[in-house]
Structure 1
């Protein structure tokens, strides 16, 4: 990660922020001409980094208020969390983001965007699936990841964002109530149900089989536990993707267009990359050619995808209708 990517076309005009998003990237530390006014000082030059006052490190962002976050991103990187109340994986990821932003002590500000209430921002960040996480650095958006990643992986992403921000001269600190952000007590999050906590802990240490077992136990005890159902689907996908080679998976699928396992492996990659329609279409297209065992496997996998994407997503509704027609 060395330079900011171009501004997605959806951001320009979707929200009237062109004066900010069209500006050139901030120069990397030390890149300004010697002696020029406002030339940034390298981090090791001893000059204190800029600070900016904020009401809190975690803030709600809306279509109407996002301009202030773009302005803020000229001083400190802004992490953008696109979520919805009905999204199970979102509720898994949000506490992780909250915790890490607090731990970094003002080096980030977290902007939470409810996609149902803010269609312009949802379009601007091209959020085809949620949870989706992006950053804004120097007024420019950077796509980060989709899905509820484990804390260790999210921390790695945060470190890359800090590196990219430094390269673009964004090295400030957010300050809450006149004191360095992160000082004082952070409210303790509400405890998770026992099996959910076991699953989180297992995901954090990379033991996806243990996480699957914990969610399976939670569902056995309460079949209506939708958070556990969504969590099981999410962690099962992560487990299947471990060690997968993108080139090999796609080559195998191309060589065996009616092999259900090969096609489902590509669909996994598509879902993990946010290409939801491609994943649904791939499974539903191969479905009629499968034997009963293959159809059962494809149907089960589609139901997992529905949980990951969100049952209220219109793409899920369309795929569900298509699956029903194929079944009956």
Structure 2
């Protein structure tokens, strides 16, 4: 696996793809699903024994490359051959689905399947979602189970499935905070999908008027839809620092929604990469308290 920047992109991706398929993983350090799919892709690169080359691009650090590929959400994986993108997918797919994707274009080594079968595969995102689905079906009134299930679907990019899974809980949205948080994220995704406002539009409005809270709120929702939690909360904090109760407390409620969605992802990353008391989450909780109580 190679980290690619604008400086080495031509060599490591375009030139390399002339002789070998190159799989490009667009990711970011804050992205929970990226931390799930990344190890799967690395495992498959080994299992396919040179069938493809894996490279990673930090979408935050390499925004020019992200824009060139039209990246709208992460993780996004794109396969290049002969210098051109030929296929791709978004979201943290389970290992079996990634293999199906690769097998359409890549010829693995002769013993790749045997080698992979000898290893005990980690719990793939699709398997985890299936278990959450079963838990939700077994206890349909368990709001915690439904939150985890719908959240997992949203973070995997399965937005339509998430809406179906959320439907039985809609009546409780106003009563259960974490269900309200899910609704706010789904609204943000719908807003982003509508294409009515882009990040560039919002930035231009903010540059013209730093107190354009509507523009800041639009930007925060677009960032949330792209699972860019901390930049989204930074925008919401800018609103709160200037007007704590703006638009019937909308900024604070949306900020809390981002924390609710963000925290379970970080708490469940394996190998101690991010502890349950993640300092980023704790820091943003403290920042909210400081602003609201000041």
What is the TM-score with the length of structure 2 in the denominator?
A: 0.49
Pick the structure with greater CA Rg.
Answer: 1
Greater share of residues in helix: 2
TM-score by length of 1: 0.45
